[in-house]
Amino acid sequence: MTHFLTKASLAALLALCSIPATVSTAAAAGPQTGLVVEAQYYHRPPVRGCSPVHAVRKARYFGLHRAHITRMSPRVVVVAGRDRRGWDRITFANVRGCPLIRR
């Protein structure tokens, strides 16, 4: 019985001594400073209409080469460029997502 009590008390003593060591290790892994560069996130305002960049990208995806914006109004965005047959233009609605109106 004395061996059991000796081993149990030694195990309890080791367990109590190891608790402060693990807490200090976890605290050391907290916020780091120095050479670590934290990522900065900026709030972007939501896109309300069809952005010109998005309209030109979409027109290029539809097969228009040398695409550029020829007209932009509150309702439509017109992108002109060349395709296989010659000059062509694509009309997009000036709302979010730039849906195709006319080709």
pLDDT digits (tens, 9 = 90+) for 7-66: 777 677 667 676 665 555 555 555 555 555 566 777 777 767 889 999 999 999 999 999
Name the nearest CA neighbour of 55 among 100, 16, 86.
100
The helix/strand/coil state of 98 is coil
Q: What is the pLDDT of residue 4?
A: 74
Which residues make Cβ contacts (< 8 Å) with residue 84, sequence separation at least 6? 63
Maximal C-alpha separation, the chain: 99
For residue 77, name the pLDDT band (cuts at 50, 70, 90): very high
Name the token pair of 76. Answer: 């439509």
- Assess whether pLDDT exceeds 90 at residue 73: yes
pTM of the shown model: 0.55
| 38 alpha carbon, distance to own chain's centre | 15
Compute the distance between CA of residue 73 and CA of residue 69 in angstroms, rounded to an integer: 11
